[in-house]
Amino acid sequence: MKALRKLALGLALPADAALIAVMSRELIETGLPWTWTPERVARNLAQRDTLVLTARDGAPLAGFAIMQFGEEHAHLSLFAVRPDCQRQGVGRRMLEWLTETALTAGIASIRLELRETNLGARRFYLDQGFAETVRVPGYYRGGETAVRMFRGIRVKV
């Protein structure tokens, strides 16, 4: 696994909305109607209970994540790493950052859905301590099955 030269993680800026939306369309929503438009990403950036994380390796985004925070649970809505940056620790570092932030906010668990056919992402999340909980046929616009995943993050004392 080769490491990126310099990776900086931080909160997304309003100017990032369009690039995040395009990355979502190309890397996550392929073959589906485009729902994470620049306007929707911008609305999420403005929400107090939503965190939009970016990973930068220079000018372009190496990756991004959008996570909503509830009282006890966080929902990871979007998570993507640019193909040329995959398998270099970007996703792992972003997920560690999100997990630490969720713990600081008092969150007990992180939940997410992903396409059943996305075997690479399923393997990644399993390696990061997530468990598959249920399959939801037709979740993606009535056509594709989703796998719901869960990870408890709060240490019990």
DSSP conformation letters of 34-61: --S-HHHHHHHHH-TTEEEEEEESSSSE
Return the higher-pLDDT residue of 3 and 19. Answer: 19
Rounded Cα gap, residues 99 and 48, in angstroms: 18
Domain 8-111 CATH superfamily: Gcn5-related N-acetyltransferase (GNAT) (3.40.630.30)
Q: Is 125 a known active-site residue?
A: yes
- Cβ-based burial of 143 (10 A; exposed 0-12, middle 13-18, buried ≥19): exposed
> So where are the chain's domains?
8-111
| Residues paired with residue 113 on neighbouring β-strands, in sequence order | 148
| Closest CA relative to residue 68, chosen from 78, 56, 55, 58 | 78
Task: Of 1-15, 17-31, 136-150, give the range with the top mean pLDDT.
Answer: 17-31
- The rounded percent of the chain whose pLDDT value lies above 70 is 95
The one catalytic residue among 29, 125, 139, 144: 125
- Say which of 26, 113, 139, 140 is annotated catalytic: 113
Residue 142: its H or E element: none
Residue 58: the pLDDT is 79
In this prediction the pTM is 0.92
40-49, 55-64, 102-111, 130-139: segment of lowest average pLDDT? 55-64
Q: What is the mean pLDDT of the chain?
A: 92
pLDDT of residue 121 exceeding 90: yes
140 catalytically annotated: no
